[in-house]
Chains A and B, each alone.
Chain A
């Protein structure tokens, strides 16, 4: 089985940064409906900060743990509100999962997404149906766990992850926000897509795309 190495993780984070930038206006529009309109700008700024940090360090001297940790620190320095601590916690959890290794089997690399989700969940404590990014992360994690158990081929898992993320985004439309800024709107949030769910899906898609291009 192919390995996912430090370079591949860097490629994933670069792709995520590019896609967050491209989607900034769209995410901003979603957020403008139920929040303050800055989610696209925020996520784009956070991932740009990660890319800047990656440009400044010698990535080959890092293992997974220190790489993810320095990404978390740059993200946290650039972003406040809830996404700052949430994604920082997710990235740290991914680093903790991989530890001092510099490569993972491609199949095991999927567990990085599970670790990110666990880290975010432990920090934010949102549950399914709260209309948050967890409504994307939780079903994606379930998909990964189920399909890994069935020994499904990687390309199938990656494609199912994307589908699951996209369904998760759409599912937030019929939810009333229970957490974070949109919760301040109560029932007014109904009918709108949660912008945090939409950006989570972009991150997950970036991961799936990177593995498809580099690890299949």
Chain B
């Protein structure tokens, strides 16, 4: 492994330490839990707190979206592994300004269980907790079983909308409704060209043969819907837009936000190559791109590949998306 590693067991602690040290103007480490990152702007009295959590290895997600008008606290798990219920609990407490806490997270078994445990444990503290579970990954289950779909890069939009809504002084119920609308309006697809390796394992736990690509791959290498010969960037971009928009079914004239994220080892310039074509294809469908984000926003260690997320906007979501934020991820 050509990687920067001391002891694989220490990598998450070291990641969080370096992250907090770098961005100490925006974030801090939780006083009693070194697996919780807290925004310097939290908790704010009377404002709904926004919390998420997830496994490490997706940086800048999840910790990178901690900050002003974004996430108030983030629970940090081992690589690709859910945080503890205790960390979710500490994050919720740290984010609470007395108006309740919205926990906005992905649809993974460990996260689901630990958030449920934390919500149960928090009852005695009298903090109101409500959740939204992201399910934007189109290829992870059929449209009929949308509730089974996993949350991927669309979560960033969900957090941004939720955080901006909370900043308006909205109630917990209103924040939850907006965050739910944001994720309902998101569709994503992943496309993998090369696998990733967890340092403690030392070898990839799935393979993508040279000259092949996996359409619909998940954020941890979950199998996609098809393995095909590697095509040109334009053909791949066309395919990704088609899968996302065929599932989305948007009216012509709809304004959208587009996010193209690298999975870790794909050069940023190739993401721009993809985006240029994707934008053309999206506009050909009569959609208007209000805002685009291209870069490494939600990675999977050193996986080669990219994800595309399209969020439909409306009069409520558009100003929330445009709300200024201060967080390391953007």
Q: A interface vs B, CB < 8 Å?
A: 28, 32-38, 41-42, 76-82, 84-86, 88-89, 123-124, 179-181, 183-188
Contact = CB atoms under 8 A, between A and B. Distances in A.
A28 B203 CA distance: 13
A64 to B, nearest CB: 21
B110 A37 contact: no
5 contacts: A37-B202, A81-B77, A89-B117, A124-B109, A184-B220
Nearest first, the 8 A-B pairs at minimum CB distance are A184-B222, A37-B201, A80-B84, A85-B113, A32-B201, A81-B110, A186-B223, A37-B200
Contacts of B77: 80-81
B131 interface: no
B183 interface: no
Nearest to B140: A184
B198 A37 contact: yes
A82 B82 contact: yes
Contacts of A184: 218, 220-223
Interface of B: 9, 77-87, 109-110, 113-114, 116-117, 198, 200-203, 205-206, 218, 220-223
A181 to B, nearest CB: 7
B84 A77 contact: yes
Nearest to A32: B201
A71 to B, nearest CB: 15
Given A28-B200, A80-B87, A84-B85, A36 B223 contact: no
Contacts of A80: 77-78, 81-85, 87, 110, 114
Contacts of B9: 41
A184 B203 CA distance: 17
A130 B51 CA distance: 31
Contacts of B79: 36, 38
Contacts of A37: 198, 200-202
Contacts of A77: 84, 86
Contact of A187 (B85, B114, B205, B223): B223
A118 B222 CA distance: 29
Chain B contact residues, majority secondary structure: loop
A124 B85 CA distance: 14
B206 A181 contact: no
Contacts of B114: 80-81, 84-85
A34 B84 contact: no
A77 B87 CA distance: 8
A186 B110 contact: no
B305 to A, nearest CB: 15
A38 B200 contact: yes
Nearest to B206: A188
Nearest to A187: B223
Given A38-B78, A185-B206, A187-B223, A82 B113 contact: yes
Count chain B CB atoms within 10 A of each CB in A28, A41, A79, A85 and give the residue with the most.
A85
Contacts of A84: 82, 84-85, 110, 113-114, 117
A82 B200 contact: no
Contact of B222 (A38, A76, A78, A186): A186
B230 to A, nearest CB: 20
A34 B221 CA distance: 11
Contacts of A33: 205
A132 to B, nearest CB: 10
Contacts of B87: 80
Contacts of A78: 84
A186 B217 CA distance: 12
A78 B84 CA distance: 7
Contact of B109 (A34, A36, A76, A181): A181
Give the residue among B83, B113, B117, B220 with the most A Cβ atoms within 10 A.
Answer: B113
Nearest to A88: B117
Nearest to B53: A80
Contacts of A81: 77-78, 81-82, 110, 114
Nearest to B220: A184
